[in-house]
Amino acid sequence: MPGIIESKISDTLESNYMPYTMSVIVSRAIPEIDGFKPSHRKLLYTMYKMKLITKQRTKSANVVGQTMKLNPHGDQAIYATMVRLTRGHEALLHPFVDSKGNFGKITSRDMKFAASRYTEVKLSPLCEEVFKDIDKDAVVFMDNYDGQMKEPKLLPVAFPNILVNPNKGIAVGMASNICSFNLSEMCDATIAYMSDEHIDLHEYIKGPDFPTGGDLVYDRNIMDKIYNTGIGSFKVRSQYHYVKKNNCIEITEIPYTATVEQIIDKVIENIKAGKIKEISDIRDETDLKGLRITIDLKRGTDPDKLMAKLFKVTALEDSYSCNFNVLIGVTPKVLGIKGILHEWLKFRIDCIRNITLYDISKISDKLHLLYGLKRVLLDIDKAIKIIRETEFDKDVIHNLMIAFEIDEIQAEFVADIKLRNINKEYILKKTSEVDSLEKQLKDLKELAKSDAKIKKLIAIELETIKKKYAIERKTRIIESDKIITHQENAFVEDYNCKLFFTDHNYIKKITLVSLRGSDVHKLKDDDHILQELDATNKSDVLFFSSMSNVYKMKAYEFDSIKASSLGTYLPNVLELEDGESIIHTVVTTDYSGFMIFAFDNGKVARVPLSSYETKTNRKKLVKAYSDFAPLVSMFYFNEESDIILNRYNAPDELRLVLLNTELISEKTTKNTKGIQIIRLKKGSIMNIAIEASTCEISNPEQYRVDKVPMSGTSIDIIDRLLMQSYMK
């Protein structure tokens, strides 16, 4: 068709999608070595140009509007960026924006920040260290998006901000997640690193530090990996205390990655599911004094044991995954702490050298003027005479240049001196200033040439910043090996009970005492009990489903009921898929024994029950048994047993095989297809699989085999009629 050009999809992706990908990575999502993304940098630089370091606060809307000259992404996006940088939002250890008004909270999902027309902002005092000497060409400037203004490519931060404040970004195909560290510790580590690159960082940095506090579960090996590679995950716990007077737990600090609403919702969800029974009420009591979640306890509840459970099932304990991905130039790099410090020091050294060269240029220019002035002041009367006797103003500069052998710039400077300044005091003052400036110039030139001297200057700056802005750690350190980890069933009462599983997928947990009182079961119409199982309250219960899945629960997760109750409807509790049902139940405490799965293609699989044991509390295991052929029956055996299988070819042929389970080789793969036990012929199937002990045929031993596969032995008419009831 005319106007349509065919091209390969790979070429189209390369020419269209790749530039977008690079733009997101380089210009939007990944922080650079100064610790800022472009959106942060544009906002803060706008506030700096508005002189909001020294001025009073202004409306946020004013800042947002001015920022749009550098950032065209829209006022809502700019304001959302500002919110995260404010003191009021509490997302940063050291906020860059001093705020007034409602900016929401990092710890709240539902608390929305007020509109920009209501809130007020200015730069925090720390920004003096962010913009220090930026007007002395400390960093490179570039055109803004429409070429009408200049903006800095990076900000000349005088401390390693990239590691002091948390930063997160999701680009295309990569992400960055940098945790925050204490400013004092990071300054000490940076100073030490400048002296010796082989320092042990653990001597200076205790661990990550978050604005929301909490308890860091410290593991030296995990921290080593994070410090060295920038990759790793650690856990942060909430801080709580028990108020005996009110029999309640008050949570005052939560992990940085969690919110109050998320925690409360999860607790309520577990209460409704019957997994937590020790709580009578939970509420958010956060106010101007700070965060507080109050949990009212039922009488007799151990608060520490309850918190151990809550740490396990809610975000009161949460993981923080580190990915120290930093944009160095235009290249994303995942670096450890030393790698980031190395890059930051290179950047900071360049900044100070640029500032020094700027000062050298300015002092050199000033000295050049003073040298000319000094030459003229040696004979000031001559200079006055030349100026007075020159007929035209335009010739004054030329005549001075010739008379004193100075250049045009020096002559202009001399000619502009006020008449009142040609006195002895002024002359001596200006002459003495030359010596001072020459010494400064010499020192600056030596500084510009020496990385070692620049590093000493950086160390002095870091010590000053530490004294002015450092705060105490908010996140406490607790050793992982000192944490008493309560097993979920450690404080669960244990007792013997019976489980009854019905055809309609109900389950009942009944204590033996209750059964002795009444053993008449209430069931729905057409329902009947399929299995009666001995258990304890701490037993694991495995539910095998019709879709080859296994669902796992603890017996104590079911309420003890009476036989006169219908029981718990499993599809609701287990969240079964549409059309899925439970077909078999197994109870165990140690996962000993094995499962037998018989299929209509004559194969039988033997899988150790230990294959279903998991280290984590997974509720669902998929592909728990093979779905290659229709299942006839499944069994759980704790020891070797006899089973009876058949070969059936309608309408006449019916053969049986009696074998011991030891003839079935064991496979650890859960969904194994099994081995051939019954040798089938065309049109025949296996549709009987029963335990020999439950079979009522007259002489089962006549069907026993000692090797497999076998075709089976034909049975007489009486046994045939009896076996019809076992056919699937």
* pTM of structure: 0.72
Cα 315 to Cα 238: distance, rounded to the nearest angstrom: 9
Q: How confident is the model at residue 14 (pLDDT cuts 50, 70, 90)?
A: confident
Mean pLDDT of the chain: 90
What's the pLDDT at 11? Answer: 77
What is d(CA 573, CA 320) in angstroms, rounded to the nearest whole number?
A: 31
pLDDT class for 484, splitting at 50, 70, 90? low
Q: 37 by DSSP, 3-state: which? A: coil
Tokens of 189: 């580590």
Tens of pLDDT along 240-282? 999 999 999 999 999 999 999 999 999 999 998 878 889 999 9
Predicted confidence at residue 2, as pLDDT, reads 58
Catalytic annotation on 118? yes
Residues 310, 681: Cα–Cα separation, whole Å: 58
Residue 539: predicted pLDDT: 93
Nearest Cα neighbor of 53 from 135, 117, 112, 115 is 135
- Quick one: DSSP state of residue 708? S
Give the DSSP H/E element, type plus range, for residue 40: helix 38-49
Kindly report the number of other CB atoms within 10 A of residue 54's CB atom: 8
* Strand-pair category, 215-218 with 175-178: unpaired
Residue 274, pLDDT score: 79
Report whether 261 contacts 108 (CB < 8 A): yes
Residue 676 clears pLDDT 60, i.e. is over it: yes
Burial 404-415 (b: 16+ CB within 10 A, else e): bebeeebbbbbb
Q: Is the pLDDT of residue 518 over 90?
A: no
Mean pLDDT for 198-225 is: 95
Name the burial class of residue 649, with classes exposed (0-12), middle (13-18) and buried (19+) by CB atoms within 10 angstroms of its CB.
middle
Question: d(Cα 155, Cα 134) in Å, to the nearest integer?
Answer: 7
pLDDT at 440: 93
- pLDDT greater at residue 297 or residue 668: 297
**Structure tokens given for 568:** 């718990």
Whether the predicted pLDDT of 705 surpasses 70: yes
pLDDT at 550 over 70: yes
**Residue 292's closest CA among 284, 300, 304?**
284
Closest CA to 556 of 485, 489, 486, 619: 489
Q: How confident is the model at residue 17 (pLDDT cuts 50, 70, 90)?
A: confident
Tell whether the model's pLDDT for residue 728 goes beyond 70. no
All structural domains of the chain? 36-156 (3.90.199.10), 239-315 (3.30.1360.40), 353-467 (1.10.268.10), 492-589 (no CATH), 598-604+626-728 (no CATH)
**How far is it, in rounded angstroms, from Cα 447 to Cα 353?**
8
- Is residue 700 predicted with pLDDT exceeding 90? no
DSSP string, 540-608: EEEEEETTS-EEEEEGGGSPB--TTS--EEHHHHHTPPTT--EEEEEEESS--SEEEEEETTSEEEEEE
Cβ-proximal residues to 219 (8 Å cutoff; 6+ apart), any chain: 234, 480
Per-residue tokens: 275: 């997994």
Q: What is the pLDDT of residue 199?
A: 96
pLDDT of residue 74: 86
Banded pLDDT at 69 (limits 50, 70, 90): very high
Choose, from 118, 218, 371, 569, the residue flagged as catalytic: 118
Q: How far apart are CA 390 and CA 249, in angstroms?
A: 93
Bridge partners for 248 per DSSP = 243, 296
Query: pLDDT tens for residues 339-379?
Result: 999 999 999 999 999 999 999 999 999 999 888 888 887 78
Tell me the pLDDT tens digit for each residue of 576-625.
Answer: 999 999 999 999 999 999 999 999 999 999 999 999 998 777 788 999 99
Rounded distance between C-alpha atoms, residue 103 and residue 118, angstroms: 10
Which residues are paired to 327 by β-bridges?
A: 32, 332
Nearest by Cα to 50 from 131, 116, 113, 114: 131
pLDDT of residue 393 exceeding 80: yes
Neighbours of 643 (CB within 10 A): 26
Given a cut of 90, whether residue 467 has pLDDT beyond it is yes
